[in-house]
Amino acid sequence: MIYSKLTSNIFLLFLTLSFSLSSAFAQQLPGQMEVKEDFSDEELKEFVRVNVALIPVQENAQEKMVEAIQSSGLTIDRFQQLAQAQQAGNLRDAVETPEEVAQFNDAGQKVMATQEKMQEEIQKVISDSKLSEQEFQEIYVAYSQSAKVKEKVDEMMDKEFNP
């Protein structure tokens, strides 16, 4: 149960990180990127340790985002619907009232501020670790794209929480 919740949280964290990391990789590496798989056990253990340290950061930010959305007068589902409509370029068709636009804008600004703060905290945890940002990114990409690396990291996570 704990491992399942942790895996879910790591997945959410990876989604959050993917925006910043994928743009960083897009800037660094043109074309198809080769996935490195030959990480040492120590590197993978540090990757696991960093992710464990990031879980409370992500959970705290998630709570603050939920509070921001709800305090703006929207439900989470409605905020997500409006955010999807905005991304698709048809927010105007999705909103029901001018007040809802104001609520969405208010919630959106608060959510973005929370995400920026979370990104800073994530960067600090990574920079305080034994991994460089590039090493963390390489392992992150390998975890996302290599069944071999994913299996090994998941096994280490399982051992971390079920000794």
User: What's the pLDDT tens digit per position in 26-84?
Assistant: 444 444 467 898 999 999 999 999 999 999 999 999 999 999 999 999 999 999 999 99
DSSP-derived letter for residue 97 is S
Looking at every residue in the chain, the average pLDDT score rounds to 84
User: Within a 10 A sphere around the Cβ of 57, how many other Cβ atoms?
Assistant: 19
Average pLDDT over residues 18-33: 46
CA pair distance 102, 161, nearest whole angstrom: 44
At 131, list the tokens.
């991994």
**Residues whose CB falls within 8 Å of the CB of residue 93, separated by 6 or more in sequence, listed in order:** 85
Instruction: Quote the pTM value.
Output: 0.71
d(CA 74, CA 112): 16
Alpha helices in 72-146 (DSSP H): 76-88, 91-94, 98-127, 133-145
Amino acid at 17: L
Average the pLDDT over 10-35 and give the result.
Answer: 49
Question: What's the pLDDT band for 20 if we cut at 50, 70, 90?
Answer: very low
The domain locations on the chain are 38-161
